[in-house]
C-alpha cells in the first residue's frame, strides 16, 4: 500500500470509528426502552465479526429461531470480486465462517455457500478467503458460474421482472441467510441486502438494461425470502464500488446489522454509510421501491431496534 493511501485510509477509518455508534443511534431513532421484546433490528458495533454475530443472534433469540434441526441451509454472502478481505469487496470470511458454524450447531444437516460472481469464480472464492473459511467450518461451497445451476421461478410481485433463473441450491434449501457486505456501488449507489440478491440469479443483464433500482426491488418479492439478513460492515468500501481500487476506498468501522426486514436493514445500513460518505435515500431508489412493494419498512422509528456496543 502506498503511504498516502495508508494515511488517507487511517483518517477515514478513525473518523468513522469516532462517529459510528452515536451517529447510527441518531439515524435509528426508535423507542426501545419501554418493552424488552425481541428486536426487529439489531445494530452491533466495536467488536470482531464473530463476537458481533453472537451478540446479534443472542438479541434476536438465538440461531435456533431461524435454523431448525435437519434443515438444508444456504448462506449467500457477496463473493463477487477477486479481492482480498482488506479491500472490502466481499463479505468478511470470518463472519461467514462463524455463521456456518452456528447453523451447523443448530442442527442443520448441510450448509451450502455460493455466489454468482462477477470475476472468475475460483479466484473470487480463494482471494476472498471465503472458500477456505467455509470448508474449515464444515460447510460446502458451490460454484454459480454455469447456467445449468439455475432454474426459472416466477416473481409475482415484480413490476419489471416477472420471472428469474435462480440457483438450484436456493430452490433446494429449507432456509437461507443473506449476508452482504455494505459498500458503494456505481450503478445501484449502495450495495447491501437487497442488492445482494442479484448474486442468486443467472441473467443480470436484464437488471442493468431495464431500471436497475426497480429490478432489485422486484427480485426481493420472490416468495422464498431469507429468514435473516446479516450486514457485514466491519470494513466498508465507501467509494469506487463495487470492486474498489485500493485501501483508500475502505473505512474500518467494525459494525454489523441483523434483521429479517430486508428494507429496514438497508435503510439502517444507509444511515451507517452516511457517516463516512453522504448518500441521499432518493439515490438508492430500490429501498423505497421495496417499501412500495410491501416487502419491508423504511420507517425505523416504528421498529424495535436494539443497539449493542462491544
Q: Which residue matches cell numbers 457486505? A: 181
228-237 vs 150-154, strand pairing mode = unpaired
Number of folded domains that form the chain: 1
pLDDT at 19: 36
pLDDT at 12 over 50: no
| Domain residue limits at 219 | 3-309
Mean pLDDT of 273-277: 96
Spatial distance between the Cα atoms of 147 and 101, rounded to a whole number of angstroms: 29
Q: Tens digits of per-residue pLDDT, 230-274? A: 999 999 999 999 999 999 999 999 999 999 999 999 999 999 999
> What confidence score (pLDDT) does residue 124 get?
98
Identify which of 290, 260, 77, 56 has the alpha carbon closest to the alpha carbon of residue 180: 77
| Whether residue 22 has pLDDT greater than 80 | no
| Residue % of the chain over a pLDDT of 90 | 86
pLDDT: which is higher, 98 or 26: 98
pLDDT band, very low/low/confident/very high, at 74 (cuts 50, 70, 90): very high
Query: How far apart (Å, rounded) are the C-alpha atoms in residues 296 and 308?
Result: 23
Q: Where are the alpha helices (DSSP H) in the chain?
A: 3-27, 49-60, 93-105, 121-127, 130-137, 168-172, 205-209, 212-219, 262-273, 285-292
The count of C-alpha atoms lying within 13 angstroms of the C-alpha of 199, restricted to the half-sphere facing its C-beta, is 30
Hey, is 233 helix, strand or coil? strand
CATH code of 157's domain? 3.40.50.11440
| 276 pLDDT above the threshold of 80 | yes
Q: Confirm whether pTM is higher than 0.75.
A: yes
pLDDT tens digits, residue range 202-213? 999 889 889 999
Who has greater pLDDT, 30 or 167?
A: 167
Contact 181, 78 (CB under 8 A): yes
- Is a pLDDT exceeding 80 seen at residue 11? no
Local confidence band at 14 (pLDDT 50, 70, 90 cut-offs): very low
Please give the backbone phi and psi of residue 62, each rounded to the nearest 5 degrees, phi first. 95, 155
Model confidence band, residue 25 (pLDDT cutoffs 50, 70, 90): low
Does pLDDT of 217 surpass 80? Answer: yes
Q: Are 36 and 279 in contact (CB under 8 A)?
A: no
User: Please, which pLDDT band fits residue 165 given cuts at 50, 70 and 90?
Assistant: very high
Distance CA 70, CA 217 (A): 31
Secondary structure letter of residue 69 according to DSSP: T
Considering only CA atoms, which of 92, 131, 128 is closest in space to residue 112?
Answer: 131
pLDDT of residue 8: 39
Q: How confident is the model at residue 290 (pLDDT cuts 50, 70, 90)?
A: very high
Amino acid at each position: 500500500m502506498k503511504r498516502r493511501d495508508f494515511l488517507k485510509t487511517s483518517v477515514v477509518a478513525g473518523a468513522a470509528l469516532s462517529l459510528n455508534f452515536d451517529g447510527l443511534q441518531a439515524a435509528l431513532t426508535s423507542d426501545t426502552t419501554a418493552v424488552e421484546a425481541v428486536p426487529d433490528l439489531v445494530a452491533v458495533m466495536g467488536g470482531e465479526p464473530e463476537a458481533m454475530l453472537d451478540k446479534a443472534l443472542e438479541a434476536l433469540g438465538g440461531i435456533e429461531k431461524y435454523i431448525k434441526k435437519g434443515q438444508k441451509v444456504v448462506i449467500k454472502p457477496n463473493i463477487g470480486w477477486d479481492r482480498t478481505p482488506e479491500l472490502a469487496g466481499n463479505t468478511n470470511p470470518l463472519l461467514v465462517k462463524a455463521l456456518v458454524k452456528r447453523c451447523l450447531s443448530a442442527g442443520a444437516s448441510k450448509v451450502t455457500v455460493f455466489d454468482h460472481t462477477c470475476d472468475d469464480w475460483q479466484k473470487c472464492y480463494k482471494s476472498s478467503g471465503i472458500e477456505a473459511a467455509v470448508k474449515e467450518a464444515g460447510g460446502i461451497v458451490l460454484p454459480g458460474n454455469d447456467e445449468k445451476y439455475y432454474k426459472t421461478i416466477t416473481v409475482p410481485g415484480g413490476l419489471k421482472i416477472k420471472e428469474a433463473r435462480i440457483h438450484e441450491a436456493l430452490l433446494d434449501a429449507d432456509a437461507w441467510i443473506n449476508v452482504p457486505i455494505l459498500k458503494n456501488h456505481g450503478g445501484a449507489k449502495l450495495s447491501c441486502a437487497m442488492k445482494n440478491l442479484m448474486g442468486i440469479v443467472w441473467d443480470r443483464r436484464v437488471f442493468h438494461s431495464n431500471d436497475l433500482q426497480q429490478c432489485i426491488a422486484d427480485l426481493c418479492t420472490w416468495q422464498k425470502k431469507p429468514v435473516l439478513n446479516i450486514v457485514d460492515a466491519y470494513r466498508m468500501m465507501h467509494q469506487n464500488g463495487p470492486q474498489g481500487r485500493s485501501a483508500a476506498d475502505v473505512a474500518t468501522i467494525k459494525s454489523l446489522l441483523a434483521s429479517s426486514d430486508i428494507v429496514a436493514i438497508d435503510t439502517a445500513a444507509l444511515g451507517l454509510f452516511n457517516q463516512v460518505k453522504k448518500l441521499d435515500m432518493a439515490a438508492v431508489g430500490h429501498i423505497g421501491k421495496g417499501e412500495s412493494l410491501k416487502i419491508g419498512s423504511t420507517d425505523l422509528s416504528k421498529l424495535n431496534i436494539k443497539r449493542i456496543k462491544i
